[in-house]
Amino acid sequence: MKPLPKLVLVDDSLYAAQAKIYPREIEGRFARLRTIAVFALLGVFYLFPWLRWDGRQAVLFDLPARKFYIFGLTFWPQDFFWLAWLLIIAGVSLFFVTALAGRLWCGYACPQTVWTEVFLWIERACEGRRNQRIKLDAAPWNTEKLLRKGAKQLLWIGFAAWTGFTFVGFFTPITDLARETVHFTLSGWETFWIVFYGFATYGNAGFLREQVCKYMCPYARFQSAMFDKDTLIVSYDVARGELRGARKRNADPKALGLGDCVDCDACVQVCPTGIDIRDGLQIECIACASCIDACDAVMDKMGYARGLVGYTTENLRAGKPLRLLRLRTLLYGGLLAFLLGTFVWGVAHRAPLIVEVLRDRNALYRRSADGAIENSYTVKLVNKTQAAQRVRLTVVDDPRVTIADRSDVALPPGEVTSVPLTLRAVSPDFSGMVRIKLAARDDASGVAATQTAQFFVPEKP
Ligand code: SF4
Ligand code: SF4
């Protein structure tokens, strides 16, 4: 009988600790573009809540009042359809830009990229350039390391807290929030959201960084569905670069049997996600173009043409022409134009006045002393304009029913007003439920709205 094979236990863990990435600082066309994008986007984020418009905060999402203010526009709960429409527009814009230019959003506009860039600037200011940071991390703790790391943490925490404060300032008037912060009178919820959002910023941009893009971002997973051979991507020109290899600056690569890649690793060292673009298009690539800047600098030094790593399409690399107009870009573009057009038209034509009529549930009708039949209602009037209005209530096209008690209602700007209303019919020649139409109209501005209601008359005894 054959002996049984020996059981060998192998300590082969599937877990591998994430190696820390130290992206090298880079200068170049795309780095400048990213800096501009960071300043513009963060400028919008940190500045907008402080702007004023018509005596109020210009951009305020007032959840308790269920009103969103965006400069001259006010969105009421009735307009939330348009906010949902806006989200659809944002989604289709992302599809359109991705089909056209790849992960432009990831590289320049995604909050994860933008805040990570700032956290990296702080890290560089405190701990130095790439090599210095690697050395500092490897060195034993001493006063200098403590001071540098401590300063970085303090600045990170301060910046994250400011971010959390600004975020909450979009939902609570930011001047009130600032006053409450100074006087330590913030409410529990305000404190929670400032700390929560600050902590999320600190964690995502300070520690998780590229891991958010690699493992957490859903967009990275489905973006390949929007790519085709004509989508702009960051790629390495294999035909031109290979065989890669080191050489002297004045050496003739052809004579050495080499391509243009000098295998300097600069493109890998600057990559914030730690990948090698020469391995082809990878899900981790956020198209930040740092590797293009790095490689262009190397090509300049070597006296070679730029573009060994560049923005291009698969078809361009294969010598085919660039095709921007193709079925998927036309479809996304057409859909986007339609959604944008509908949004602009719909928002511009929103009703400036809303009238809602609610019947009194306690009594179906009432007979007055003079024998008239009366029905009671509550009329809710929403003045969506920023001007005060005085509306006149009338029953339209039915002389049998009249307003018993009031006709004029003063509406403050941007407010909801509820008023009781009694309608009456004197000696009615009908019975049962009758549909009537109630109109509210401000004669000065011409703003008007109508609403139907039911008027009840009992059978004659
Ligand atoms: S491969 Fe290049 S473009 Fe992609 S993430 Fe790295 S540096 Fe940015
Ligand atoms: S930077 Fe350019 S030359 Fe250097 S390794 Fe990368 S692709 Fe090759």
Q: Which ligand is nearest to the CA of 292?
A: 1
Q: Cα(322) to centroid of ligand 2, in Å?
A: 25
What value does the mean pLDDT take over residues 386-414?
Answer: 88
pTM of the model: 0.83
Position 413 scores a pLDDT of 87
Q: Which ligand is nearest to the CA of 220?
A: 1
**Residue 366 φ/ψ region, left for φ over 0, alpha for ψ in the -120 to 50 degree band, beta for the rest:** beta
Alpha carbon distance 305, 435 (integer Å): 80
Alpha carbon distance 117, 37 (integer Å): 11
Position 210 scores a pLDDT of 87
Q: Which ligand is nearest to the CA of 104?
A: 1
What value does the mean pLDDT take over residues 393-400?
Answer: 89
Position 117 scores a pLDDT of 94
Of all residues in the chain, what percent carry a pLDDT higher than 70? 96
Of all residues in the chain, what percent carry a pLDDT higher than 90? 68
Task: Indicate the burial class of 428 (C-beta count within 10 angstroms; 0-12, 13-18, 19 or more).
Answer: middle
Position 386 scores a pLDDT of 81
Confidence of residue 114 (pLDDT cuts 50, 70, 90): very high
Mean pLDDT of all residues in the chain? 91
Q: Cα(283) to centroid of ligand 1, in Å?
A: 10
Q: Cα(221) to centroid of ligand 2, in Å?
A: 27
100 CB near ligand 1 (under 6 Å): no
Confidence of residue 77 (pLDDT cuts 50, 70, 90): confident
Q: What's the gap between Cα 209 and its chain centre?
A: 19
Strands 59-62 and 389-396: unpaired
The residue whose CA is least distant from atom 8 of ligand 2 is 261
Pocket test for ligand 1, best of 232, 277, 278 (most atoms within 8 A of CB): 277
Ligand 2 atom at minimal distance to the Cα of residue 236:
7
The segment(s) of the chain belonging to CATH 2.60.40.10 are 353-457
Alpha carbon distance 260, 308 (integer Å): 8
Segment of 216-230, 327-341, 385-399 carrying the highest mean pLDDT: 327-341
Position 324 scores a pLDDT of 84
Whether residue 117 contacts residue 37, with contact meaning beta carbons closer than 8 Å, is answered with no
What value does the mean pLDDT take over residues 259-268?
Answer: 96
The residue whose CA is least distant from atom 1 of ligand 2 is 295
3 state DSSP class of 142: coil
What value does the mean pLDDT take over residues 387-411?
Answer: 89
Tokens at residue 410, please? 């003063």
Q: Cα(127) to centroid of ligand 2, in Å?
A: 26
Q: Which ligand is nearest to the CA of 266?
A: 2
Q: Which residue has the tokens 């029953």?
A: 395
290 CB near ligand 1 (under 6 Å): yes
Task: Indicate the burial class of 2 (C-beta count within 10 angstroms; 0-12, 13-18, 19 or more).
Answer: exposed
Alpha carbon distance 22, 156 (integer Å): 17
Question: Who's near 57: CB < 8 A, 6+ residues apart?
Answer: 49, 51, 69, 173, 174, 175
Pocket test for ligand 1, best of 210, 288, 308 (most atoms within 8 A of CB): 288
3 state DSSP class of 275: coil
Q: Which ligand is nearest to the CA of 277?
A: 1
Q: Which ligand is nearest to the CA of 283?
A: 1
3 state DSSP class of 112: helix
Position 422 scores a pLDDT of 93
Confidence of residue 457 (pLDDT cuts 50, 70, 90): very high
Position 183 scores a pLDDT of 95
The residue whose CA is least distant from atom 2 of ligand 2 is 295
277 CB near ligand 1 (under 6 Å): yes
289 CB near ligand 1 (under 6 Å): yes
273 CB near ligand 1 (under 6 Å): yes
Q: Cα(317) to centroid of ligand 2, in Å?
A: 17
Confidence of residue 100 (pLDDT cuts 50, 70, 90): confident
Q: Cα(239) to centroid of ligand 2, in Å?
A: 13
What residue ranges line ligand 2, CB within 6 angstroms? Answer: 236, 241, 244, 261-267, 278, 294-295, 298, 308-309
Whether residue 367 contacts residue 385, with contact meaning beta carbons closer than 8 Å, is answered with no
Q: Cα(133) to centroid of ligand 2, in Å?
A: 23
CATH number for the domain formed by residue range(s) 353-457 = 2.60.40.10
Q: Which residue stretches of 327-424 are H helix?
A: 327-348
How far apart, in Å, are the Cα atoms of 316 and each of 166, 278, 323? 44, 17, 9
